[in-house]
Amino acid sequence: EAGVAQSPRYKIIEKRQSVAFWCNPISGHATLYWYQQILGQGPKLLIQFQNNGVVDDSQLPKDRFSAERLKGVDSTLKIQPAKLEDSAVYLCASSTSGQGIRKTQYFGPGTRLLVL
Amino acid sequence: GDSVTQMEGPVTLSEEAFLTINCTYTATGYPSLFWYVQYPGEGLQLLLKATKADDKGSNKGFEATYRKETTSFHLEKGSVQVSDSAVYFCALSFTSGNTPLVFGKGTRLSVIA
């Protein structure tokens, strides 16, 4: 079974530029998460989708971050304009929508963003 | 809100030493508990999990027991190897609903030969 795919793996941009990340979840996984992992910290949720609807975006800085999941499969996360403090690893995860232990989250390799 | 506290690293051990990484949590209700591992250059991988009190999760020689009375989920391994060098994250979520993971800050483990 293929895992969660993300691209690009690395991105370097200057502040005030825009950037987009892409995620392809495991086939059949209805729930998709984007996490931000700042160096030295644990991942923190940015946004959660169930199919193509947003479940939780309370921690997404909506003045600069946006995300979509068209057709309930792939997802893109965009930052516009980027700030220095956005330098982090952006992780995508997916899970099934069932109850209990079947909801284990599987993570992609992440996109490492450096804002100069 | 819900939170996870892990012992701070880095932790450096010699090969075959005993490992303990402490993890405690604060949550309303009864979450499921997880340990994830992040090897250098790789994504997060689920190491083990426990879904209710007194459950023991185990994998690859690692173990952790869900202790409700002490709100803890300490990770242990009897004999570490160089290949265990990684960052370990303790996390919780409520699997009865569609909730995301809440992570601790991570503990970096280095095992030297």
Cα–Cα distance, A77 to B16 (Å, whole number): 43
- Amino acid sitting at position A103: K
pLDDT values of chain B reduced to their tens digit, one per residue, 113 residues: 889 999 888 999 999 999 999 999 999 888 999 999 999 888 899 999 998 899 999 999 999 999 999 999 999 999 999 999 999 999 998 865 567 899 999 999 999 99
Report chain B residues whose CB lies below 8 A from the CB of A109.
42-43
For residue A102, what are its two tokens? 């079947």
Q: To probe the interface with A, which of B5, B44, B46, B105 has the most A CB atoms within 10 Å?
A: B44
- Which among B19, B10, B9, B21 has a CA at the least distance from the CA of B79? B19
Cα–Cα distance, B2 to B36 (Å, whole number): 18
CA atoms within 13 Å, Cβ hemisphere of A100: 1
> Which chain B residue has its CA at the smallest distance from A49's CA?
B98
Q: Which pLDDT score is estimated for B8?
A: 85
- Amino acid sitting at position B4: V
- Which among A8, A4, A7 has a CA at the least distance from the CA of A31? A4
**Beta carbons of A48 and B98 less than 8 Å apart:** yes
Taking CA atoms, A33 is separated from A74, A109, B47, B68, B111, in Å, by: 11, 13, 19, 28, 32
What does the pLDDT look like over A38-92, one tens digit per residue?
Answer: 998 899 999 999 988 999 999 999 999 999 998 889 999 999 999 999 999 999 9
Q: Which residue has the tokens 């005030």?
A: A16
> Which chain A residue has its CA at the smallest distance from B97's CA?
A99
Cα–Cα distance, B80 to B111 (Å, whole number): 7
